[in-house]
């Protein structure tokens, strides 16, 4: 399966049996491709990179070197889950880098969305590059490229998948799921024994919470955003909306309004709920959330999260509004 075209005869992977057959086939192909050499993978904790990591661990074990860079803009518990699942349960050869301070120091005072994205992307490459330079005998680079990436891109998305690795890293690519669609990757992930929450993780932008902490990022507002987002996710899980809604998150803008807490004037940021459904991310519709659920989420966020005193709901479909705010 070295070419980039999915054969018409290839059956859609919908069952564990089909997933197991695919895994066996890829394990054999990877072993043939790699031999006794080492493979490097940027493990974000997203669906695609996680499934590729689990598949390669099954195929080549410790020959795979996973690098997880925590840029300080992950959602609550995500880096911890990567360490738990890959470092402990799967006993992966995992390098964990907490680069929070590096990223947040560089982003200080930067409010323009595109500049924020560029800083985060460039620094990610730098951190990853530094780690790769410390390793010896790496001849292969694994990527979580999936079939829609190939269909959509002429190399644009490949850059996005690796985190945009430098051209001069002369490594051969290992892309075991490149002929699969997202739903198939999830079936394969469950067959590999990955946690359901990881396999069904929502799409998450490369710059992470950096594009949801609107304007110039401050640590206190980023922390409030992370906590409010965790509450939203928890409540959507409880009421069954998590599996129904394609993407849901909180955005926190850089302004305050007056409120009341403990009978005192209290200035805080608003938390904006965004919950959308889409098939292709080119257009999106708004998910209807029951008012009882909204009231409960609002109550929890305003009482439990330091710095937030209002909860708003974004009712804008795409187009007019993009899915992310920045």
The answer to whether residue 223 is domain-embedded is yes
Looking at the fold, whether 27 and 133 belong to one and the same domain comes out as yes
pTM above 0.85, yes or no: yes
For residues 68 and 280, which has the higher predicted lDDT (pLDDT)?
68
For residue 179, the 8-state DSSP code is T
- What is the tally of structural domains in the chain? 2
Counting beta carbons within 10 angstroms of the beta carbon of residue 148, is it exposed (0 to 12), middle (13 to 18) or buried (19 or more)?
Answer: middle
Mean pLDDT of all residues in the chain? Answer: 92
Looking at the fold, whether 97 and 237 belong to one and the same domain comes out as no
Average pLDDT of the residues in 168-195: 91
Instruction: Name the pLDDT band for 76 (thresholds 50, 70, 90).
Output: very high
Looking at the fold, whether 153 and 244 belong to one and the same domain comes out as no
Looking at the fold, whether 34 and 128 belong to one and the same domain comes out as yes
Per the structure, the complete domain to which residue 123 belongs is given by 16-199
For residues 249 and 279, which has the higher predicted lDDT (pLDDT)?
249
Question: What's the CATH number where 106 sits?
Answer: 3.40.50.620
Looking at the fold, whether 176 and 248 belong to one and the same domain comes out as no
Structure tokens of 302?
């305003």
pLDDT of residue 162: 42
Looking at the fold, whether 223 and 183 belong to one and the same domain comes out as no
Nearest to 198 by CA among 67, 86, 81: 81
The answer to whether residue 204 is domain-embedded is no
Instruction: Name the pLDDT band for 28 (thresholds 50, 70, 90).
Output: very high
The answer to whether residue 162 is domain-embedded is yes
pLDDT of residue 155: 45
Flag whether pLDDT at 117 surpasses 90: yes
The answer to whether residue 207 is domain-embedded is no
Average pLDDT of the residues in 107-136: 94
Distance CA 102, CA 83 (A): 20
pLDDT of residue 304: 97
Phi, psi of 211 (to 5 degrees): -100, 5
The answer to whether residue 7 is domain-embedded is no
The answer to whether residue 154 is domain-embedded is yes
The answer to whether residue 325 is domain-embedded is no
Chain-centroid distance, C-alpha 129: 20
pLDDT of residue 152: 75
Looking at the fold, whether 105 and 133 belong to one and the same domain comes out as yes
For residues 189 and 161, which has the higher predicted lDDT (pLDDT)?
189
Looking at the fold, whether 53 and 185 belong to one and the same domain comes out as yes
Instruction: Name the pLDDT band for 281 (thresholds 50, 70, 90).
Output: confident
Question: What's the CATH number where 266 sits?
Answer: 3.30.300.10
Question: Residue 81 to residues 44, 187, 189, 316: CA-CA distances in angstroms?
Answer: 11, 20, 15, 32
Average pLDDT of the residues in 139-163: 69
Looking at the fold, whether 145 and 39 belong to one and the same domain comes out as yes
pLDDT of residue 169: 58
Looking at the fold, whether 34 and 99 belong to one and the same domain comes out as yes
pLDDT of residue 163: 42
pLDDT of residue 160: 40
Looking at the fold, whether 42 and 140 belong to one and the same domain comes out as yes
Average pLDDT of the residues in 47-53: 96
Instruction: Name the pLDDT band for 168 (thresholds 50, 70, 90).
Output: low
Domain end: 199, 220, 246, which one?
199
Flag whether pLDDT at 166 surpasses 80: no
Q: Helix, strand or coil for residue 266? A: strand
| pLDDT above 70: percentage of residues in the chain | 94
The answer to whether residue 205 is domain-embedded is no
Counting beta carbons within 10 angstroms of the beta carbon of residue 172, is it exposed (0 to 12), middle (13 to 18) or buried (19 or more)?
Answer: exposed
Average pLDDT of the residues in 259-273: 93
Flag whether pLDDT at 1 surpasses 50: no
Average pLDDT of the residues in 68-78: 96
Looking at the fold, whether 226 and 273 belong to one and the same domain comes out as yes
Question: Which range has the worst mean pLDDT, 161-170, 192-201, 291-300?
Answer: 161-170
Average pLDDT of the residues in 81-103: 96
């Amino acid at each position: 399966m070295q070419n980039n075209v999915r054969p018409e005869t290839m059956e859609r992977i919908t069952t564990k049996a089909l997933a197991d057959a695919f895994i066996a086939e890829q394990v054999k192909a990877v072993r043939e491709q790699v031999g006794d050499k080492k493979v490097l993978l940027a493990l974000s904790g997203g669906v695609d990179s996680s499934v590729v990591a689990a598949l390669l661990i099954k195929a080549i074990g410790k020959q795979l070197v996973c690098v997880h860079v925590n840029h300080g803009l992950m959602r609550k518990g995500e880096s911890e889950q990567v360490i738990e699942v890959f470092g402990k349960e799967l006993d992966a050869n995992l390098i964990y880098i907490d680069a929070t301070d590096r990223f947040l120091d560089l982003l200080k005072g930067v409010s323009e969305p595109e500049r924020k994205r560029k800083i985060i992307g460039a620094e990610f490459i730098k951190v990853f590059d530094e780690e790769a330079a410390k390793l010896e005998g790496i001849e292969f680079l694994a990527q979580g490229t999936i079939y829609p990436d190939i269909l959509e891109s002429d190399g644009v998305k490949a850059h996005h998948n690796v985190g945009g690795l430098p051209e001069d890293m002369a490594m051969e690519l290992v892309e075991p799921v490149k002929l699969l669609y997202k739903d198939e990757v999830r079936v394969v992930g469950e067959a590999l024994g990955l946690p359901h929450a990881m396999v069904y993780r929502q799409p998450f932008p490369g710059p992470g919470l950096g594009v949801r902490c609107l304007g110039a990022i401050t640590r206190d507002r980023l922390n409030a955003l992370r906590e409010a987002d965790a509450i939203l996710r928890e409540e959507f899980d409880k009421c069954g909306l998590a599996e129904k809604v394609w993407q849901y998150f909180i955005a926190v803008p850089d302004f305050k309004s007056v409120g009341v807490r403990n009978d005192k004037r209290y200035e805080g940021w608003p938390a904006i709920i965004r919950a959308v459904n889409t098939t292709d991310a080119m257009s999106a519709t708004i998910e209807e959330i029951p008012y009882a659920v909204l009231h409960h989420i609002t109550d929890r966020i305003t009482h439990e999260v330091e710095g937030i005193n209002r909860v708003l709901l974004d009712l804008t479909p795409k187009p007019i509004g993009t899915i992310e705010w920045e």
